[in-house]
Chain A
Amino acid sequence: MDSRSEILKRLRAAAPPPAPLPDPRSETVPYADPLAQLEAALQAVAAVPVRVAGVAALPEAVAAVVAQLGATRIASAVPGAAPGTVRPEELADPHELEGLDLAILPGEFGVAENGAIWVNAAALPHRGVFVVTQHLALVLPAREVVTDMHAAYARIAALPRSYGLFIAGPSKTADIEQALVIGAHGARSCTVFLVG
């Protein structure tokens, strides 16, 4: 018997009696001000939330961050956010992303309970751009905030099934004596522009 059949056979033979699958409904009381809660949650995961009045004000807000970081090699997947100096779609090999100072990516929605932003990275020309870049900026319409992870998966289930991820702040580690260090492998900072 091949391994697949044998494993499945063993698991069927070992299976415990049927048990019901519960419905994981949310019991989180919706936040009075979801956006304010998201901002607090973002700060808790070491991200930097920046409120932007509207799409028109975005370039200026981005420019301030670019200046502050001294970023010169910038890739933007958000139309109108910033004049990208690197166009990932023209790179044949993801390794060429190395040396990127800042990547600006669209977020789909934010989760108020934990500061995670859902990113549909499958739409990007090179999906690793969010982690290879030295700094990351996510752009999120301020109205796109869900209460908790239950609501988040309801949103994801409605999207086309694809590769995607939650990003909650910059890359971090506490593997040396539990001391929190920002910038382990991926982005050293994570700015989240909340637009509108």
Chain B
Amino acid sequence: MKVALFIPCYVDQLYPHVGMATVRVLEKLGVEIVYPEEQTCCGQPMANAGFADDAAPLARKFLEVFGRFEHVVCPSGSCTSMVRNHYDPYLAGAPGFEALKQGTFELCEFITDVLKVARIPGRYPLKVGLHQSCHGLRELRLGSASELLVPRYSKVASLLSSLEGIELVPLARPDECCGFGGTFAVAEEAVSCMMGRDRIADHVKAGAEVVTGTDVSCLMHMDGLARRAGERVRFRHVAEILAEAMA
């Protein structure tokens, strides 16, 4: 199977090893990767701040770059959701758009839903806290949100818990927002940072040595707070954990 890799701009620039971990995981699972170099930002920061006019050309560019691929895979729930759930105002009716929406996947759901891989061969003998980033959880439905009265599941947790030696720690608030929220992190700095510290405290109290998640943006926010506070807990994207375990 051949997939196009969609690497969000902040992953490209700030967390390139998360992109590389994604590459390694997919290659280990037998996937052939294409990385279209002309890709840029998906437009989410502008769209979430209300600047639809600025997001529109980026959405069009995205379709131009990725429209020709059957599968697009991205190591971010939030950016995937931008394409799947928030491109309609810009691209509705455009040729290839519906196929693009249906063919764009967050990494973990691509593994569980498209590759139909339930168990990842590998070992990760650490206590891990799973941060369920909100857009992955509630827009992509990568798991069951705690508010909903539906059978419990989590695509990310099921992949992680298939690793040998891993212990997923139970949190007091299983899916509270970390407070990143894009421009919210800066525009509402006080509440954003309080939310982030509270998330970290929940993970630390549960005994997590490593906090993981599907979105580097949330992890970047919590990592920044944790490093400032001198917390020992580390933050790793789920692709990094899978890649390390499979290595």
In the complex, A touching B, CB below 8 Å?
Answer: no
User: Which residues of B does A touch, CB under 8 Å?
Assistant: none
